[in-house]
A and B are shown apart, each in its own frame.
Chain A
Amino acid sequence: MADLDVKFDDREDRRDRGRYNRDNRGGNNKRRRDDEDDHHYTPRDDRRGPQRRRRDDYPRDGQRRGRYEEPPFPKLRRMIVNIASTAKLPEDESIEIARLLRDHYDDEDIRNQFFDVFVQLIVDQPFKIPFVAAVAFYGNQVKAEITTEAMKRVGERLQESLAAGQWREFKLLLRFFACLQPIFEEDGIFTLLGQLFDTVVDLQSANENDVVGIELVKIILLTIPYAIASGGDRFHDKANELLNSTGIVAGNTLPVEALIHPYDDDIEDTVINYHSVIGLLQQQLTAESQSGWKLACIPKFHVDAMQRTNPEDTLQATPATHVFPTFTIPSPVNPGSKPLFPEAYFSLFANQESSIVPALNDIAASLIRDAIVDTIDQLDFNREVVAKFLVDLDCYWSHGTFANRGIALDKFLQEFGNDKATYKSEDMVIDAIFSLLFKLPTPEHKLVYYHSLITQCCKAAPAAIAPSLGRAIRSIYKNLHAMDLELGHRFLDWFSHHLSNFEFRWRWAEWIDDLKLSKLEPKKAFIVAALDKEIRLSFAKRVRQTLPEEFSLLIPERLDEDNSPEFKYEKPETPYAAEGQMLLQQLRKKATHEQVQETIDRIHAQAEEQGISDVLVPSTDAFVTAICRLGAKSLSHFLSCVERGRERLVNIAQQSDSARRQIVTSVVEYWKDQPGIAVRIIDLLLNYTILAPMTVIQWVFGDHMGAGEALTESWVFEMVSNTVTKVTNRNRQIASARLQRGLPAEQVEMVDATLTKDRDNARELFRYIEDACRGLAEGAADRLIEKESSGALSAEDGQLIRAWGKRWSMVFVRKSAIEESVVGEQAVEARIKFLAAQPEPEVVELVKVDEANGAGAEDGDTAME
């Protein structure tokens, strides 16, 4: 009982600490919910919980108050939803719920509603599955129908998710059954796991690059420990047998896995080497089986708890055993609507010597990680609740799995330094969130979700989370040179966004020595880019205030002034100065097409005299720079200026490729101190098809790259990946339009033609990028060779550029391969074949999904054409 009290105090304490920023409140009560920084989410049903408890604990004048009897369903709902989150023992809670349910079991409404919540809870709140299963487990001892009904309802949902290829839900629902293993006859869940493995064998023998089988093996491996933890030693042999068969699949490496390494394995001493999730699981389980399947972290329930709490209130006979329900594994297996990939296990802290988080060979690493990750990804619609669950992580695992919340690192090392089975919960939470932020090839949700979740965790438990977060940042920063470049950019984007939520507070001073580094060093490039990104979300003067002076020098002074960037044609020495100024005047006064043409012709005449081969280049420069100047006030102003010059710009684009690239040059040059705005404008010009994707890519690698120095500029990477994403998104929309069921034949032909053409364009784009990056990576690019041999570039810098080239190359080779696996001929054909084989009922759902995508595609069209 003593430690439960501590827990409760702990909670109060955290709440106090959360109240650190009261002053920031906007003062408007209506908006209190949004403005309050220390907002703690309490689910609606939670509210009554603590109050009631308090009332029970310290009864006031009982007679005067008149006891309020909570109706049965709301009470049941509140109890099950909050199971394991209160100060009570989860075992007692499960028993109490089972009894209350038994007392009202004859009421059909209550029963139905209760099981609706019951099933949804498994899918929504993965941490609670063992506890929810315990309700069915103890229910079996008071009224076997409770268990029968629970199995029926969860089973229906399980079959549904299996048929639809919703693998995460399937895994969670399966875990519920695993936790009920002791009440099943014979092998229980192992029969189903065996069938699933047979399916894996079929899938793998049909296709050596199959990924669905990998997903299934992951599910099998993550289910075994729960079944053993509940079922006990009579299933050890079954588990070992299954492990023997999964070994081959789990130990296998697919070619595509080479593309999803978070860190370059060729570089020594980085954060973590590549481990596939299933490979690691297989090793951990094998180790666990050798040490007798302790599975220490999984909460366990005692069969005789019921008798202990209330001996006379139990069924006299021995509890019923149940036949494990039969499920149909569809053939062919539905791969699901989301593209599947093998997964890498990511951890920032696992390689450290002390056991702050479980070591890589510890099954707890995978089990706890898996549950955290599912909680985060299933509940993306309420980050406030997720943050609360994460802060309460220790409630959901067996006692002693974690040190006290918020324990300082040195104290932890002192007390648990040698204890390999006690972990620091905050570090595990941060580790898990970063694993999602850094998931390759694509994150489950938009990255900004993980940004806001970290922010939310910092609000919920600032004193506990902040130090772990600091350690995470330092560890990532230290190894930036070895990190996948796309991940480096995700980190950059998160870092700047995160700081913008916390008054830009960061101990910049500790990176001061890195300012001396060459601009080509990843660390230096990161600092420069982070400041730029901070400014984009705020403004230069503000960011400058938050920095040590040395860093402040990186921000151009001009940005402190509240005016537009200079217009180069105002300087008389600029070629075509008079014409440039004239164009600006004409645009401002909305002069006629002819008047503008007159000025442009004057530029052409002068340029021709000077022997410039493409006279459209200088005139385009003047025209676009004038538009930038006139539209400098805001993006809306810019857009209305572009509208005015649109026709001319489209004509330029059609006439000359070099003039088209000049559009990019002029925009970037005008906004050289705020490249973020240039990137945004280029994106808009792509939508107007004033620029083509290839224009941007050729500008980057042809006009702007130099000897490769531009590879270090984060905004250049941003521009290239935005452009590529625009192209690939469109292709995916077309592909999903093609997969629409019941598409008329003539439309099939049309969509197929578009898809073929655009797929080829995308391939060409990728090829161009890959060739250019490879040239720099291998040191074969002309300008790199030139600069190196002339001595303009030192040998070290040359090596740095090669390393950047390699990192760039990896990103786009991956992106290209991923697109092939989604919109490539093979992928689309396989999908068409699969859909054709589906029975009718599937249609309704599929059409609905595709309608949404189809609408998106149309929008995309108007935007692109």
Chain B
Amino acid sequence: MPAIRKNTVERLDRPSSYATSKNRRKNNRRDDDSRRDPTPEFEDKLKDATTLYVGNLSFYTTEEQIHELFSKCGEIKRLVMGLDRFQKTPCGFCFVEYYTHQDALDCMKYIGGTKLDERVIRTDLDEGFAEGRQYGRGKSGGQVRDEYRNEFDPGRGGYGRAYADEYDD
């Protein structure tokens, strides 16, 4: 039996370059500390992934809307909304957990890159939600990408927050 059959067409259910590069950064750091046991390989971690990171949501998109769309790929086990660290309001991302890996892959293929609430959303395989990850990591509490945005995005709080602060001062 041949080992792995590579499709003649690229697959949309692969982890994104973001997830891969994040892993690479981690690996680099780990190299410095060689005594620690190696953590399971990145691909291994995602090979049974049932969770997806969902990005580019509008701040106003509700859990119900997300449920309505994402349950088209299978029953949702858990939905964790991404929140602004300080205000505890939605800040434009979420984690969707399915019961099966296949549902998560199908979601990558069929829902990633389509619209929810009239915005093209991004899905990425995720190693699984952990407490704390629901909060934005930007300086002002939201996602980093919303700190320094030059364009006005009404669904994500207008201009980048770093600039908005400048104007306020």
Hey, which bits of chain A sit against chain B, CB under 8 A? 24, 26-28, 30-31, 33-35, 37, 43-44, 81, 116-117, 120-121, 124-125, 160, 379-385, 445-449, 451-452, 455, 493, 497, 500-501, 503, 536-539, 542, 634-636, 676-677, 680, 852, 855-856, 859-860, 863
- Chain B residues lying within 8 Å of A81, measured Cβ to Cβ, are 8
Q: Are A452 and B69 interface neighbours, CB within 8 A?
A: no
Expressed in whole angstroms, the Cα–Cα distance for A160 and B1 within the complex equals: 9
Q: A120-B5, A449-B109, A636-B79 are in contact. Are A677 and B64 (CB under 8 A)?
A: yes
Expressed in whole angstroms, the Cα–Cα distance for A503 and B118 within the complex equals: 7
CB neighbors of A among B143-160 (8 A): 145, 149-151, 153
Expressed in whole angstroms, the Cα–Cα distance for A863 and B101 within the complex equals: 16
CB neighbors of A among B1-41 (8 A): 1-2, 5-13, 18
Residue from B12, B99, B100 within 8 A of A381 (CB atoms): B12
A-B contact pairs, 10 of them (CB 8 A): A26-B120, A27-B153, A31-B122, A33-B113, A116-B6, A383-B12, A446-B72, A448-B110, A634-B63, A635-B67
- Chain B residues lying within 8 Å of A447, measured Cβ to Cβ, are 72
Residue from A37, A117, A677, A860 within 8 A of B120 (CB atoms): A37
Q: Are B67 and A383 interface neighbours, CB within 8 A?
A: no
Expressed in whole angstroms, the Cα–Cα distance for A44 and B7 within the complex equals: 13
Residue from A384, A497, A500, A859 within 8 A of B12 (CB atoms): A384
Residue from B113, B118, B121 within 8 A of A538 (CB atoms): B118
Expressed in whole angstroms, the Cα–Cα distance for A381 and B8 within the complex equals: 11
Q: A384-B12, A537-B116 are in contact. Are A26 and B56 (CB under 8 A)?
A: yes
Instruction: Scan B92-112; emit 1 where CB is below 8 A from any A CB, else 0.
Output: 000000011110001001111
Q: Are B99 and A859 interface neighbours, CB within 8 A?
A: yes
Expressed in whole angstroms, the Cα–Cα distance for A121 and B69 within the complex equals: 33
Q: Are A381 and B68 interface neighbours, CB within 8 A?
A: no
Residue from B7, B74, B99 within 8 A of A124 (CB atoms): B7
Expressed in whole angstroms, the Cα–Cα distance for A383 and B9 within the complex equals: 10
Q: Are B56 and A381 interface neighbours, CB within 8 A?
A: no
18 new A-B contacts, CB < 8 A, other than A30-B18, A34-B113, A636-B79, are: A26-B120, A27-B149, A27-B150, A120-B8, A382-B9, A382-B109, A384-B12, A445-B106, A448-B106, A451-B110, A500-B116, A501-B115, A503-B118, A542-B118, A635-B67, A636-B63, A676-B64, A863-B99
Question: Within 8 Å of chain A (Cβ to Cβ): is B73?
Answer: yes
Question: Within 8 Å of chain A (Cβ to Cβ): is B52?
Answer: no
Q: A34-B122, A447-B72, A635-B63 are in contact. Are A382 and B12 (CB under 8 A)?
A: yes
Q: A381-B109, A634-B64, A680-B64 are in contact. Are A28 and B145 (CB under 8 A)?
A: yes
Q: Are A452 and B79 interface neighbours, CB within 8 A?
A: no
Q: Are B72 and A121 interface neighbours, CB within 8 A?
A: no
- Chain B residues lying within 8 Å of A124, measured Cβ to Cβ, are 7-9
Q: Are A125 and B12 interface neighbours, CB within 8 A?
A: no
Expressed in whole angstroms, the Cα–Cα distance for A83 and B22 within the complex equals: 37
- Chain B residues lying within 8 Å of A537, measured Cβ to Cβ, are 65, 68-69, 116-117
Instruction: Scan B49-63; emit 1 where CB is below 8 A from any A CB, else 0.
Output: 000000110000011
Expressed in whole angstroms, the Cα–Cα distance for A790 and B23 within the complex equals: 72
Q: A501-B115, A636-B79 are in contact. Are A31 and B56 (CB under 8 A)?
A: yes
- Chain A residues lying within 8 Å of B118, measured Cβ to Cβ, are 500, 503, 538, 542
